[in-house]
């Protein structure tokens, strides 16, 4: 992707109690294949992270974003308007992040800020990167200690779709930021620093989407093989969108699930009123946990979501029995009538 501007500042913190200090870079990074590869790696690592999706508190309106609760949108507007150069903009951001690190983290790192363009879309990415100790082989073929960037550790990161924010889209999902489940105060402080508000619950929306899909499969009474194929199609599509940092589009997903009836799943969602947004930021962890167990033999057909195993459904391996604790209402009524 073309890199319009990029820079790396260093944040130092000697001990857990010591304040964090910013060692700012004097100039932007020069373009290079190594920089391109690093940004690609940062994006991939970021897409795999648990994160929140939303917008600026001022709703992304360039006319009033500066009046929000954070200086970040105001500085961003000044930078994009040419009133603040990229180095100064990133340095101000680095100072604010240093204060956040001082309050919540006990390790040093490097702050990467990059303004990139892919096609018609411009993106601002920021990430606090940490190091890990490793080993390499030098020119004399001897083992040598080396320090590597540990992209998986990435404690603070955010991604802003500048084109969507500045455009006419009504979306409230143009901004995303990491939300470490083990550091609630850090995540809240980071959201406050960004001036961000959540516009959609990615985990909750993904779970609701999977529930809608399970209901759809059951209502259609699909054969086992067809049910498995549709499940794989959904997971493949959603996972691919997650890996690219793109939302799940309900109409597009519906077409993926059934080329012959491309609106069938979409109409099922709308008719049942699941309350889903037209576009859903996929939660990769929730997707990875989803799988359907299906089986058909001797006139018995069983299908249920894997996350129900151990709660609503139990498998007694010793006696080869499946115990259903919460019988579906429709099935329960049929059984009562037979009694």
Neighbours of 326 (CB within 10 A): 10
pLDDT at 228 over 70: yes
pLDDT of res. 67:
39
Q: Report which secondary-structure segment, H or E, holds 285.
A: helix 284-289
Give the tens place of pLDDT for each residue, 87-146: 999 999 999 999 888 888 877 889 999 999 988 889 999 999 998 888 889 888 899 998
Report which of 240, 260, 284, 55 is spatially closest to residue 158, judged by C-alpha positions: 55
Terminal alpha carbon distance of the chain: 67
pLDDT tens digits, one per residue of 245-262: 788 999 999 999 998 899
CB of 248 closer than 8 Å to CB of 209? yes
Contact between residue 124 and residue 160 where contact means Cβ atoms under 8 Å apart: yes
d(CA 113, CA 35): 12
Tell me the C-alpha distance between 83 and 77, whole Å.
Answer: 9
Q: 113 and 6 in contact (C-beta within 8 Å)?
A: yes
- Kindly state the DSSP code that residue 228 receives in the 8-state scheme: H
Long-range contacts from 89-98, C-beta under 8 angstroms, 24+ separation = 90/7, 90/9, 91/9, 91/22, 91/24, 93/126, 94/9, 94/11, 94/22, 94/24, 95/22, 96/71, 96/72, 96/193, 97/11, 97/126, 97/128, 97/156, 97/193, 98/11, 98/20, 98/21, 98/22
**Measured between alpha carbons, how far is 3 from 114 in angstroms, rounded to an integer?**
7
Residue 153 has pLDDT above 70, yes or no: yes
Calculated CA dihedral for residues 317, 321, 322, 328, nearest 10 degrees? -170
What is the pTM (predicted TM-score) of this model? 0.70
Give residue 306's pLDDT.
Answer: 67
Residue 329 corresponds to which tokens in the numbers above?
């209402």
Residue 29 has pLDDT above 90, yes or no: yes
């Amino acid at each position: 992707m073309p890199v319009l501007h990029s820079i790396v500042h260093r944040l130092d913190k000697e001990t857990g109690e010591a304040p964090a200090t910013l060692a700012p870079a004097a100039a932007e990074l020069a373009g290079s294949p190594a920089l391109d590869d690093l940004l690609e790696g940062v994006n991939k690592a970021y897409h795999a992270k648990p994160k929140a999706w939303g917008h600026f508190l001022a709703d992304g309106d360039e006319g009033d974003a500066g009046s929000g609760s954070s200086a970040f949108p105001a500085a961003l507007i000044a930078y994009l308007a040419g009133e603040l150069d990229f180095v100064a903009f990133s340095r101000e951001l680095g100072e604010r992040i240093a204060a956040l690190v001082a309050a919540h983290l006990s390790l040093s790192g490097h702050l990467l800020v990059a303004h990139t363009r892919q096609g018609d879309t411009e993106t601002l990415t920021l990430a606090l990167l940490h190091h890990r100790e490793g080993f390499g082989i030098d020119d004399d073929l001897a083992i040598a200690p080396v320090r590597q960037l540990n992209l998986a550790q990435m404690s603070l990161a955010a991604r802003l779709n500048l084109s969507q924010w500045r455009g006419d889209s009504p979306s409230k999902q143009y901004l995303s930021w990491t939300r470490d489940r083990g550091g609630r105060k850090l995540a809240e402080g980071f959201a406050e620093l960004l001036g961000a508000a959540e516009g959609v619950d990615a985990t909750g929306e993904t779970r609701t989407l999977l529930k809608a899909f399970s209901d759809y499969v059951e209502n259609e009474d699909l054969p086992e093989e067809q049910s498995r194929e549709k499940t794989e199609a959904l997971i493949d599509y959603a996972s691919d969108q997650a890996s690219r940092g793109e939302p799940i589009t309900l109409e597009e997903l519906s077409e993926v699930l059934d080329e012959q009836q491309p609106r069938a799943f979409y109409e099922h969602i709308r008719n049942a009123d699941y309350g889903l947004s037209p576009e859903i930021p996929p939660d990769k962890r929730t997707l990875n946990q989803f799988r359907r167990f299906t089986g058909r033999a001797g006139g018995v057909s069983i299908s249920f979501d894997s996350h129900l195993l151990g709660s609503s459904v139990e498998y007694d391996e010793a006696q080869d029995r499946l115990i259903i604790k919460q019988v579906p209402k429709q099935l329960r009524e049929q059984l009562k009538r037979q009694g």
